[in-house]
Amino acid sequence: MTGSARGLGRAYGLRLASLGADVVVNDINLDAANEYGEELTAPTVMDEVRNLGRRSLGIQADVSKRAEVDAMFRHVLDEFGRLDILVNNAGGSLRPGPGWASSASEEDFRYIMDINLMSTIFCCQAASVPMKRQHGGKIVNVASQAGLRAGVEGGSAPYSVAKAGVIHYTRILAAELGPYGVNVNCLAPAWVLSSRAIAQGRGRPEAREALERQIALRRLGTPEDCAKVLEFLVTDLSDYVTGQCISVCGGYVLF
C-alpha cells in the first residue's frame, strides 16, 4: 500500500485490515499525518492496523526510485512470504502553478510523471513477479478524474497526463496478467476531502459550494467513499472485473 501514512492511503489500509488483511504501510514519510494535522487513533497507521488484529509493517521508501521499490518488495516477501494485493496510491499534484500544457517546465513534467506514473509502473512490475508465480493477485492503481477529463480552461497538464498514463497502463497490464489470474484495475477519485486537500482549503465553505454545484450528488467525497470501492476491487466481488477504471466522483465525471 503505497502513500498510506495518511489520507486516502490510510483509509485504504484500514479498510483492508478490517477485512482481514495484513498491511504494509509505505510512504516517503511515515509521519506524514502530522504534516496536515490528520488525527490517528494510535501513534502510527501501523499501530492502527495492529489494533484491528492484523500484522503491519511500515516501510519508508521513495517509490519513484526503482532501487527503493525493489528493496521494499524483497522486504515484504521476506516478512510475509507472499503478496496478494497491491494498491498504488502514492502521488499527487505536488507542483505549484497552473501547469499549462504549452509551457510547463521539463522539471515539473518529469517530477510529476515520476511520482505518479513511474512509481506505479515500478511497483506493478515488482508485484507481478510473485503474483504470476502464485497465479493470483489483485492490483489497484489510483488515478484521478484529472486523467479522465480536460477542463475547458486547460491546466494541470503534468498531473493529468501522468494519471491518464496510469489508467492506460492499468489496461495494458490487465491484458498481460489476466492469463495468470491477476486482476488489475484502477480508481479515479475526484474531489475528496483528504487531510491534504482540507489543509489546502478545499474544506472552506466557499470552495465546497463551488465544487458541489458541479457534482451530481451535491457533496464532496470522503476517503471512506473511495475505500468502499477499493474493497470491491480487492475481494472476490470483482473476480470477473479487470482492466477497468472506476470513477469515484459522485457524478462529477458522467460518461
CATH code where residue 236 lies: 3.40.50.720
Please check whether residue 90 is in contact with residue 28, taking contact to mean a CB–CB distance below 8 angstroms: yes
Backbone angles phi, psi at 91, to 5 degrees: 140, -165
Rg (CA), the chain: 17
pTM reported for the whole predicted model = 0.95
Range of the domain at 182: 7-248
- State the catalytic residue, choosing from 12, 36, 111, 159: 159
Number of domains composing the chain: 1
Bridge partners for 137 per DSSP: 182
Q: Does 44 map to a domain?
A: yes
The answer to whether 84 and 43 have CB atoms below 8 angstroms apart is no
Residues written for the chain: 255
Q: Note whether residue 80 is domain-resident.
A: yes
Question: Does residue 253 lie within any of the structural domains?
Answer: no
**Residue 255 located in a structural domain:** no
Whether residue 1 lies inside any domain: the answer is no
Q: What is the residue-level pLDDT of the chain in tens, covering all 255 positions?
A: 999 999 999 999 999 999 999 999 999 999 999 999 999 999 999 999 999 999 999 999 999 999 999 999 999 999 999 999 999 999 998 887 789 999 999 999 999 999 999 999 999 999 999 999 999 999 999 999 999 988 778 889 999 999 999 999 999 999 999 999 999 999 999 999 998 889 888 989 999 999 999 999 999 999 999 999 999 999 999 999 999 999 999 999 887
Q: 254 in a domain, yes or no? A: no
**Catalytic-residue membership of 159:** yes
How many angstroms separate the CA atoms of 76 and 82, rounded? 8
Q: What would the grid cell of residue 163 be?
A: 494519471
Whether 184 is covered by a domain: the verdict is: yes
**Is residue 183 domain-resident?**
yes
